[in-house]
């Protein structure tokens, strides 16, 4: 059983992490909108597609990677289609499946946004922390992600572990 002081500290830690995440998201949102004219969710989708083989992913796989529900993915892709950033293509191997493909306008936005993102991450996070704090934060983030059995984006978590140079998460 935790004490009221421990409960208060845990609540404060949760709030600090929540506020930090919102502040970092807000900074990135402002910079992406001002510089490239896209949102953070647009950036996440464009980045995923730009990194993927052939610039496309199955819609379900994209949603899984982002940790989004099917309806959220579908609605957001529709809005991006209207702006000529992505297109939907029927999967011929499985006529029920749909590919989401990055279009040339999306590639241009993704490249510009990547530079804005890198600058924002440096200014808002890594330039503020000491290198050992950055390493500890990476390990902590991966430990929390790996310890969350509700995680729906296992492939993305594993990819992040490799990119961060953190021990591979345990197999489930």
For 71-110, the DSSP string reads HHHHHHHHHHHHTTSEEEEE-SSSTT-EEEEE-HHHHHHH
Q: Give yes or no: residues 101 and 140 share one domain.
A: no
Single out the residue of 83, 101, 82, 81 nearest to residue 91, CA to CA. 101
Show which of 128, 143, 162 is a domain's final residue.
Answer: 128
User: Is residue 85 included in any domain, yes or no?
Assistant: yes
- Two tokens, residue 135: 């390493």
What pLDDT, on a 0 to 100 scale, did the predictor assign at position 113? 98
Which residues pair with residue 100 across a beta bridge? 57, 88
User: Is residue 9 included in any domain, yes or no?
Assistant: no
What pLDDT, on a 0 to 100 scale, did the predictor assign at position 168? 57
Single out the residue of 38, 48, 111 nearest to residue 80, CA to CA. 38
Q: Give yes or no: residues 112 and 78 share one domain.
A: yes
What pLDDT, on a 0 to 100 scale, did the predictor assign at position 172? 46
What pLDDT, on a 0 to 100 scale, did the predictor assign at position 160? 85
Question: How far is 83 from 106, CA to CA, in rounded Å?
Answer: 9
Angle between the N-to-C axes of helices 70-82 and 59-66, in degrees from 0 to 180, rounded to the nearest 10:
110
pTM of the model: 0.85
Q: Give yes or no: residues 101 and 114 share one domain.
A: yes
Q: Give yes or no: residues 30 and 99 share one domain.
A: yes
Q: Could you tell me if 49 and 106 are in contact, meaning their C-beta atoms sit under 8 angstroms apart?
A: yes
What pLDDT, on a 0 to 100 scale, did the predictor assign at position 170? 54
Q: What is the pLDDT of residues 33-60, one digit of tens each?
A: 999 999 999 999 999 999 998 999 999 9
What is the number of other CB atoms lying within 10 angstroms of the CB of residue 99? 20
**Segments forming the whole domain that contains residue 28:** 20-128
- Two tokens, residue 44: 């996440």
pLDDT < 50: residue spans in the chain: 171-172
Show which of 96, 111, 128 is a domain's final residue.
Answer: 128
Q: Give yes or no: residues 141 and 88 share one domain.
A: no
What pLDDT, on a 0 to 100 scale, did the predictor assign at position 63? 92
Q: Give yes or no: residues 148 and 118 share one domain.
A: no
What is the number of other CB atoms lying within 10 angstroms of the CB of residue 6? 10
User: Is residue 45 included in any domain, yes or no?
Assistant: yes
Q: Give yes or no: residues 96 and 150 share one domain.
A: no
Q: Give yes or no: residues 112 and 140 share one domain.
A: no
Q: Give yes or no: residues 37 and 61 share one domain.
A: yes
Task: Quote the number of domains for the chain.
Answer: 2
């Amino acid at each position: 059983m935790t004490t009221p002081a421990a409960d208060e500290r845990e609540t404060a830690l949760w709030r600090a992490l929540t506020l930090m995440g919102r502040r970092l998201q807000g900074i990135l949102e402002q910079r992406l909108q001002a510089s490239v004219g896209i949102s953070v969710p647009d950036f996440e989708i464009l980045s995923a597609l730009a990194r993927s083989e052939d610039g496309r992913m199955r819609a379900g796989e994209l949603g899984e990677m982002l940790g989004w529900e099917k309806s959220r993915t579908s609605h957001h892709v529709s809005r991006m289609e209207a702006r000529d950033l992505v297109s939907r293509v029927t999967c011929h191997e499985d006529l029920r499946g749909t590919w989401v493909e990055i279009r040339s306008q999306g590639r241009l936005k993704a490249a510009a946004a990547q530079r804005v993102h890198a600058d924002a991450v440096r200014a808002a996070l890594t330039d503020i922390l000491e290198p050992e704090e950055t390493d500890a934060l990476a390990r902590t983030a991966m430990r929390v992600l790996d310890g969350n059995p509700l995680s729906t984006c296992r492939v993305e978590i594993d990819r992040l572990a490799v990119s961060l140079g953190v021990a591979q998460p345990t197999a489930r």
